[in-house]
Structure 1
Amino acid sequence: MRDLMGIMKQAQAMQEKMATLQRELDTVEVSGASGGGAVAVTMTAKGLVKGVTLDPGLMNPDEREILEDLIVAAVNDARGKAEQVAAERMSELTKGLPIPPGLNLF
Structure 2
Amino acid sequence: MSQMRRQPIMRNFTSMLKKAKEAQEKLAAVKAELAEITCTGEAAGGVVKAAVSGDNRIQSISISSDAASASNPDDIHMLEDLLVVAIRDAQGKAEQEKAKRMQDVTGDLPLPPGLDLPL
Bin for the TM-score computed over the shorter chain:
over 0.9
Other-structure match for 1:54: 63
Runs (4+) off by over 6 Å: none
Other-structure match for 1:90: 102
Other-structure match for 2:38: 29
1:17 deviates by 0.5
Tell me which structure has the larger Cα radius of gyration: 2
Q: In the alignment, is residue 39 of structure 1 matched against residue 48 of structure 2?
A: yes
Quick one: distance in 2 between partners of 1:81 and 1:27?
Answer: 14
| Structure 2: 5+ residue stretches without partners | 1-9
1:2 deviates by 2.1
Quick one: distance in 1 between partners of 2:108 and 2:22?
Answer: 13
| Structure 1: 5+ residue stretches without partners | none
Q: Is the 8 A contact 2:19 2:109 kept in 1?
A: no
Q: 1:65 aligns with which of 69, 74, 77?
A: 77
Quick one: distance in 1 between partners of 2:27 and 2:38?
Answer: 18
Q: In the alignment, is residue 8 of structure 1 matched against residue 17 of structure 2?
A: yes
Other-structure match for 2:113: 101
1:105 deviates by 1.1
Task: Look up the equivalent residue of 1:25 and give its one-letter code.
Answer: L
Q: Deviations over 1:34-58 (max 9, x none)?
A: 0111000011011011111111012
Q: 2:28 aligns with which of 6, 19, 25?
A: 19
Aligned residues: 106
Q: TM-score, normalised by structure 2?
A: 0.85
TM-align CA RMSD: 1.0
Q: Secondary structure at the match of 2:115?
A: coil
Other-structure match for 2:4: none
Higher mean C-alpha displacement, 26-35 vs 2-11: 2-11
Once the two structures are aligned, what percentage of the paired residues are identical? 36
